[in-house]
Amino acid sequence: MIFNIPQFIDIEDKIVGPLTAKQLGWLAAGGVCLLLLWSVLDLAAFVVSTFFVAFIFGGLAFYRPNGQPLISALGSIFIFFSKPKIYMWRRMPDTKNLFKHTKIINEKSSVHTNKEISLEEIKKVSQLLEIKKK
């Protein structure tokens, strides 16, 4: 049997001219933000803030780092910096034994002295270790 396989499903539909629905939404949100700034700020502050708002919403609408939308990249950056870093290959410190008192050993007591073994003691040990032949 022959089945029709949908192709180009990852390409978004163009709604208005070359703009997709997401791009149109981001540009509309930028326009609403500029309208609110127009009513709140005076002319000089509005002109300065227009560049920042246009840059931010233009980037959200059109810039795609590594083939993904900018809002996804910003979300990934936020999640990366907000989550604690847990390394599976690093040993975590044992918090139970962290405050246990450790006994400090004197260096003099840890030095071993050489003992001399007499010939009789060596003969006794060799008799214990002897293997009897059958």
Contact 34, 53 (CB under 8 A): yes
Look at residue 55 in the predicted model and tell me its pLDDT. Answer: 97
Q: How confident is the model at residue 79 (pLDDT cuts 50, 70, 90)?
A: very high
Q: Is the pLDDT of residue 73 over 70?
A: yes
Distance CA 79, CA 81 (A): 6
| pLDDT level of residue 111 (50, 70, 90 thresholds) | low
**Three-state SS sequence of the chain:** CCCCCCCCCCCCCEEECCEEHHHHHHHHHHHHHHHHHHHHCCHHHHHHHHHHHHHHHHHHHHCCHHHCCHHHHHHHHHHHHHCCCCCCCCCCCCCCCCCCCCCCCCHHHHCCCCCCCCHHHHHHHHHHHCCCCC
Hey, where are the domains in the chain? 14-82
pTM (whole model) above 0.85: no
- Percent of the chain at pLDDT > 90 equals 46
